[in-house]
Each structure stands twice: as C-alpha cells, then as structure tokens.
C-alpha cells in the first residue's frame, strides 16, 4: 500500500454518505479558493447517489459556487437518455437539478439513442475530455509542451463492486487492460446492463485525489483485495491511485477485512 493511501471507517451507510458529502463540499471550497473553479468526477451506485443527495441536503452546499464546478462521470450505462439506469439522470435527480450548475460544465457520456454504438460513445467522451484539457492547457502559463488527454480532476469518486470492479472496469475484461486511451466501450458487462462506457485506469489515475467509497458486507472481500495490492487485471480497485491522495472511505461492514491498525474512524 502506497504512503498516500488513507483508510477511514464510518459506523454506518448514512454516516458514510453524509461525511463523504461534507468532505466533498470542503474540498471543492478549497480548490475554488485556490483557482476559482473545481472539477469532480461522479460515480453512481447506492452510496455514490446517497452521497450526492447528502450534498444537496447540506446547508454547507450554499458556500460552493456550483456554477464554477465541472462535472464528469467515471462511467455510464449505454442505454437511452431517458433510462432510469443512467448515472447522469440519477445524479441530476439527486444533486445537479438542485444547485444551480452551469449545464455547459456537466459532461455526460452519450446515450444509446444519441450515438450509433459504444465506439461512438467512447469517441465522443474522449473528444469532450480532450477539448476541456486543451482549454486548460491554453490558459495555463505553466502548461506542458502538449495538451494532456484529460483535464485536471480534483476529486474522482469511485464505487466498488463485490468483484472489485471500479467504474465499468471489470476483472479480466478488456477495459481494465486498456492503455493509452482515456475512455473505452464495455460490451458484455457481467453486471447489467451489458453495454457501458468507462474511463480507463490511465484516465482515472490522473486525478489529484481518488476517493473509493464503499458500503456493505458484500464488498468486504473486494476491499481487502484492493488494499492488498493485487494485480489490477484481477482486482481493478487495486490499480486506482490518485496523484496526491487515495482515500478508501468505508462503512463498518465494508471494512470487516481491513486490519484495525490501518484505519482512521469518523463518527
């Protein structure tokens, strides 16, 4: 386990969601104080959406200038735009429809009734990321010689499956093996719906901070494997490493296989 990994234990699902929401608000405020805008990559799943609902319910949300927050998604279900399965729709209902965001800053992955196929959806998101990265590069006095493939991600949220998948990068499948591209189409996902679009591990690991937020006893084995440093092809979660920090934010049940001495406790 690398030295920038922090593991924090929360007593329940509700406390995990509320505390993660408070962390996110604080982090966005800090980043906006430093450079005026901030960027967060959202995740779906039960705890991911519960966290967004907790942000919307927090009085502290009013301190954030939401019109200057850029929103991206770590993955998406390749289904019609109106489908309740889409992470983008769930995020909108939980948070984005309630906080005065600039819709031009909400970057959704293309739906199945908008583009022809998975490859087109992946290409579209790749182009969105590249355009945002170029805008940052052109405005940065200390920019590298060429624009990166993705913009700066200040916080990237991830859930975790019982099989240790993150985003839509599943064990042993082509997505987790993909290198040199920021976005992939995923066919035959072992978790329905079968078609998905996902950031790759290359793109995920550009994030300054990665927060892996996990609840439930069914995730405990995956958490243990992820923290043990297993091969990412077999255990995708083990390959997620933020540039500055990687936080595993766990409820009591998800932390069952984590050694006590490794954890901090939030109550």
CA-CA-CA-CA torsion sign (90, 95, 98, 100): negative
How do 183-186 and 196-199 pair as beta strands? antiparallel
Band of pLDDT at residue 265, cut at 50, 70 and 90? low
Cβ-contact 7, 263 below 8 angstroms: yes
Summarize pLDDT for 224-252 with one digit per residue, the tens: 999 998 999 999 999 999 999 999 999 99
State residue 228 phi and psi, 5-degree precision: -80, -10
Summarize pLDDT for 75-134 with one digit per residue, the tens: 999 999 999 999 999 999 999 999 999 999 999 999 999 999 999 999 999 999 999 999
pLDDT of residue 138: 87
Query: Can you give the residue ranges of every domain in the chain?
Result: 5-265
Could you give the CA distance from residue 134 to residue 57 in angstroms, rounded to a whole number?
35
Q: Which residue has the tokens 């995020």?
A: 91
The Cβ-side half-sphere exposure at 127, using a 13 Å CA radius, reads 7
Could you give the CA distance from residue 88 to residue 43 in angstroms, rounded to a whole number?
9
Cβ-contact 159, 48 below 8 angstroms: yes
CATH of domain 5-265: 3.40.50.1360
Could you give the CA distance from residue 172 to residue 170 in angstroms, rounded to a whole number?
6
pLDDT of residue 147: 82
Could you give the CA distance from residue 211 to residue 158 in angstroms, rounded to a whole number?
6
Classify residue 71 as exposed, middle or buried by CB count within 10 Å of its CB (0-12, 13-18, 19+): buried
Structure tokens at 78: 């390749």
């Amino acid at each position: 386990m690398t030295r920038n990994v922090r593991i924090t234990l929360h007593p329940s699902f509700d406390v995990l969601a509320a505390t993660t929401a408070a962390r996110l608000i604080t982090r966005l405020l800090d980043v906006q104080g430093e450079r005026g805008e901030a960027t967060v990559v959202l995740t779906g799943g039960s705890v991911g959406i519960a966290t967004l609902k907790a942000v919307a319910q927090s009085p502290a949300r009013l301190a954030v200038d939401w019109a200057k927050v850029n929103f991206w998604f770590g993955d998406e279900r390749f289904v019609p735009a109106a489908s309740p399965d889409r992470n983008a729709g769930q995020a909108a209902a939980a948070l984005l429809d309630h906080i005065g965001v600039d819709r031009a800053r909400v970057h959704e992955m293309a739906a199945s009734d908008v583009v022809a196929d998975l490859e087109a959806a992946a290409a579209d998101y790749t182009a969105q990321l590249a355009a945002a990265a170029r805008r940052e590069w052109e405005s940065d006095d200390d920019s590298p010689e060429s624009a990166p493939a993705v913009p700066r991600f200040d916080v990237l949220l991830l859930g975790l499956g019982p099989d240790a998948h993150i985003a839509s990068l599943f064990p042993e499948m082509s997505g987790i093996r993909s290198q040199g591209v920021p976005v992939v189409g995923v066919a035959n996902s072992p978790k329905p719906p079968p078609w998905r679009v996902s950031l790759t591990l290359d793109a995920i690991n550009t994030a300054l901070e990665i927060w892996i937020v996990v609840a439930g006893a069914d995730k405990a084995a995956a958490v243990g494997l992820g923290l043990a440093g297993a091969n990412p092809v077999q255990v995708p979660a083990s390959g997620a490493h933020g540039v500055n920090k990687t936080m595993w934010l766990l409820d009591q049940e998800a932390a069952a296989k984590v050694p006590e001495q490794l954890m901090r406790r939030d109550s």
